[in-house]
Chain A
Amino acid sequence: MQSICAFDRIIPGRGVAALLEDGTQVAVFRLHDDSLYAVSNLDPFMDANVMSRGLVGDRGGEPIVTSPLLKQAFSLKTGACLDDEMVALEVFAVEVLDGEVRVGVNSEVKASA
């Protein structure tokens, strides 16, 4: 797990982008209920690293982020695109420790699973 910023740095209902040590870009979102989600920052439709700037909300109760480019919705829980079942975002582990937001690189997620 890698520390990226203070929890308070993320405003409720928005996301931030983080650059992991291996060069991976992760989008981390804080929802209004203070829950955190982390997915790949790469918009798979447009191939641009912009997901952290999307709007969050819910679709039928499922927490989602909407691509800021072409507005496809992705589940924050599974990364699955709700508008195109062939596409999904990578999902990352995220936690808060001592007020710091920490994100797990992919290998660690798989190892712990």
Chain B
Amino acid sequence: MDEAKDQKETKQLTGEKTEVGLVERAKETAGALKERAVEEAKTYKDPQQTQVWKSIFRVSHERSDPRNRSLAILSNVFLHLHPAKINRDAVRYQYTWGMGGITFYLFIVLTFTGVLLMFYYHPSKILAFRDILYLEHDVPFGKLLRNMHRWAAHLMVITTWLHMFRVVLTGSYKRPREFNWCVGVVLLVLTLLLSFTGYLLPDDQLGFWAVTVGTNMARATPLLGHEGPFGAQLGLTPYNDVRFGLLGGSIVDANALLRAYIWHCIGIPLVASIFMAVHFWRIRKDGGISGPAPVMLESEMKVPKKK
């Protein structure tokens, strides 16, 4: 075998004519290549065995042994918010109601639809209202987009309240979760403010008057508003009080629209994201979801001795 090959090569090198033709040789090479390709293609039949796949997904989900199930959570950036294992009763949605998670999901939906809406919206008095009309009548699925943003926002307020309601009914704000409850209260306020700042953006009568009524209350802020107690005594006027700062003017106008837009799209979502990160982090650090916990009895309650 080797001898024959050597002879062949010698002949090629010396330019001596071989008995096999060029075409024959090409066919031979092509045949070998094809064989190799077929061999390789067999390994591609299972995409999960490819280098690309393995580089992205470190864990195979084919086997469901405990180690793999844990790794599915631990090695995934989106899922690693969860612990690998939880109390067997903690998955009972009759207890949890799932409202916190749904609120977070709605925040994601709102971010997604909100970013898409930003492509079609100019925060200026001249264009804002027109952009909404354009969005409703000309942009493909524009109406659906706006509707979904609006209803998801309303739903988020509802789910936040229900989440809070559940936490109260189960006493989940108690030690060691007191601080996380406070973070939650801040998030509730931020949710309401997010919704409220968005209300002005269509620049229609509804939003304009709602925001006018809302910010008029700021005039009456004690010490900081020109109509509030001790405001006038401190030298506050409609042109330097807290309402002026909120609106960027003494009336709801172009500056107010721009400020509402920036608070709505950048300012509050940023702050809310930070608080959400703390909120979720603390759930883990405070020992996961509060229950359903074993009931305690009155007889086991310790009354601290008076010193």
Say whether A and B bind each other: no
> Which residues in B have some Cβ–Cβ distance to A below 8 Å?
none
> Which residues in A have some Cβ–Cβ distance to B below 8 Å?
none
